Structures are given as structure tokens and as C-alpha cells.
Amino acid sequence: MTAPFGERLADAVAARGPLCVGIDPHVALLEAWGLSDDPDGLARFTDAVVDALAGSVAVLKPQLAFYERHGSRGLAVLEDAVARARAAGALVLLDAKRGDIGSTMDAYGDYLRPEHPLAVDAMTVSPYLGPRSLQPAVDTARQCGGGLFVLARTSNPDAGTFQHATTGERSVAQVVVDTVRGWNTPGWVVGDPLPDIGAVRDLASRFGPTTGSFGVVVGATLSEMDVELDGLGGPILAPGLGAQGGSVADLRRLFGTDRAVVPTVSRHVLAAGPDPAALRAAAERWTRELAA
């Protein structure tokens, strides 16, 4: 069994910095690169990003939808890219946002199995059908050393419609965070009382050898932090830097400096392509700014 995702992520961040670069080959970006909106253009785009960045950034995050829209040939491009990115030392976080029940969720979790043709290190999932719905993916992640990032407090304009709704005395977003905190607590299962924050505080606060493999997605463009993240025990995926308006200052404002935060940049790096040196330089600028 491979080392748990949380440990591998901590090692990658220590060696390369925390930057996660999204691979989002949408139509406008393909056109900006002078590429055709077909599997051939998709392959040229993806190969350029992987070749330029997989040897230096900690995490690459391909958006599955942009590959699925090209059918089986698009998925073949992604399958090859994932294998090459991991071989070059980058962790691959599949941005799939899957969420279902029973055997269907179990099948989605197979992306985390090493024998899967599109095996990745971690994936994003949606908790809308309830915490028990994600248990098959949690079980697979534990068995195979994979990771999950659960949508919790996103920063799209109408996210609060659902995420600010309350169940008991907690918002839905807080229930998601608390559930993930439970997954990072040894011996806890859905249905048990949620563990006390103090009991798992030693797993939280910063990257380290005990960082859990289960994280949450919290946007870097929130006007204020309205969920309690103490004791999460795992990493926070923070999208929104660059084109969406988020900055390194926002990361510090929202998360402080002692949390395991993985900031995500997509368009501000990808817009530098297709020149490989320009792509690397754009990623390196973000890495330096995050380190500073």
C-alpha cells in the first residue's frame, strides 16, 4: 500500500511549495493557444502543460469535464497525461466533483485505485447527498492511500443559498467541515458524535507527517471566513487565485499562516502558454509569492 495521500502531499509541498495548477482546457483557452477544439488540440494543450509543470509543481488538477466533452479520445488524452504527470513527481488531483450513493459512488472512488487506468492521487467530491453517500470513496481512499477534497464553502456568488442553510445550530458548510474532521480522526465513523476539536488539533494547523488525507474546498475569494476550520486534520484546497480575483493576501486573511492550504491557480498560469518556459515562469512566480 502506498503512503497515505496526506503524507505524500506534505512531502510534495515541502519539496516544491504548495501551488496547485488547474488544467482547464476550455474552448477559449484552446483558441488563445491557437489550437483546435478537438482531441488533437486537447492533446497538444495537455502535453504542453504536463511537460512544462509536472516536474516542478506539487499538484496538477485536471478538470474532468473538459476531457469528457471530447468523448473517449478526450479521456485517452487525460489517461496518458495523468500517468506522465505522476511519473514526473506531481500529485494529480482529479477535479471531478462526484457525488452519488451506493455502488455508483463506489465506482467513482475507483479513480483512487492504483490499478485503475486513470488512477489519481486524490479527487474532489460533492457532499450534497449526505455524509454516508461518500463513505464508499472514503473507504477506497483509506485502502489505497488516496485523498478526497469535499466541497464545503465555495465562493461562487450563490453558494450561500445552500451552504449557509442550517441544520440544527450549524450551517451546511460547517457540517461538511466537521464530517471531514471526523474522517481524519482515527476510529471515527459517520453516525458517531463528532470528535472534539481538541482531540485532533495535533493533526491540524500545518503540513506534517500526521496530516490527514481528507480535506475541504474553501474559496480564496470569500469576503470573510464563516466556517470553523480548527482541528480539520487535513488540507484545504483554496481555488480562486488570479483570474477570479483572489490573492496571497486573501489566503493569509482567510486561513492565517499555520494551516495546510493548497492554493489553486489556473488561468493566470495557463494564459502564459503555449511556450513551456513561459508556463514554468508563471508557475514559479506564484510559488515565490506564496513562499514569501
Which residues carry out catalysis?
97
* Cell triple for 112: 483512487
Grid cell 506522465 is found at 84
* Cell triple for 174: 460547517
Return d(Cα 153, Cα 236) in angstroms, integer: 11
